[in-house]
Amino acid sequence: MKTQHIEPFFATLKAANPQPNTELEYTSVFELLAAVLLSAQATDVGVNKATRKLFPVANTPQQILDLGLEGLERYIQTIGLYHSKAKHLMQTCRILVAQHNSVVPRTREALEALPGVGRKTANVVLNVAFGEPTMAVDTHIFRVGNRTGLAPGKTPLAVEMQLMKRIPPAYLVDAHHWLILHGRYVCQARKPLCWQCAVSAYCDFQPKTLKP
C-alpha cells in the first residue's frame, strides 16, 4: 500500500464506523481482561456466551477465586482450551489480589507478568480500557496487514511494528478495531468480499474476481 493511500484508507473506515469498539462484552477493566484472556483461539461470540453466565456470579478477582477451579471451568467449558484458560485466570486472579489490590495494572510489564497474558492481550487491555495507542495483532489484523500491503510482515510482532509506524497518529487509537472488524466481516481469510469492500481502491490485493 502506497503511503499516500494510508490516510484515505483509515478515513474511509472511520467514516463508516466513527466509534468502533471490541465485540467482547464487559462492564469493568477486570471483566475485559478476563474476556480477552478467554478469547485466545476462540470467537468473541463464544466468549460472550460464557461470560454472560459467569460475570453475574463472579466478576472480581476474589469472586473468581471463590468459585474454585472446577467451579470456574463449569462456566467456561464451552470455550476452547478451557482447562488451561481456567488455570491461567485463577493464577492471574491470585496475583491481582496479592500484588495489585485486585486492580488491573496499567503498564505493559505488569500485564504481561500475569499468567495467560501475552503481548496481544496486554495491547487489547491497554487500548480498550486505558485508551493507549497500541496494536493487538490477531489473525485478522495479521491477514489484513499483509494482504492489503499496509503492514507486510512474517510475524505478528513485525506486523505490529509496521502498523505503529505507518498508521497516522490521528487514527492509531481506533485502528485496532477497524482492522479487526474489516478482517472479520469483509477481508475474510478464504474468500475476501472485495466486491463490497469500501477500501479496495487503496489495497494492494488483486483478486481473480471481484464478484461472488
Active site positions, annotated: 120, 138
The Cα 142–Cα 159 span in angstroms is 6
Query: Residue 118: CA atoms inside 13 Å, Cβ hemisphere, count?
Result: 10
The Cα 153–Cα 56 span in angstroms is 41
The x, y and z cell numbers of residue 104, run together, are 488491573
Q: What is the DSSP string of 59-86?
A: -SHHHHHHHHHHHHHHHHTTSTTHHHHH
- Range 32-43 burial, b when 16+ CB lie within 10 A, else e: bbbbbbbbbebe
Least Cα distance to 210 among 193, 196, 195, 192 occurs for 195
Q: Burial-class residue 104 by CB neighbours within 10 Å (0-12, 13-18, 19+).
A: buried
CA-atom Rg of the chain in angstroms = 18
Least Cα distance to 80 among 121, 109, 56, 47 occurs for 47
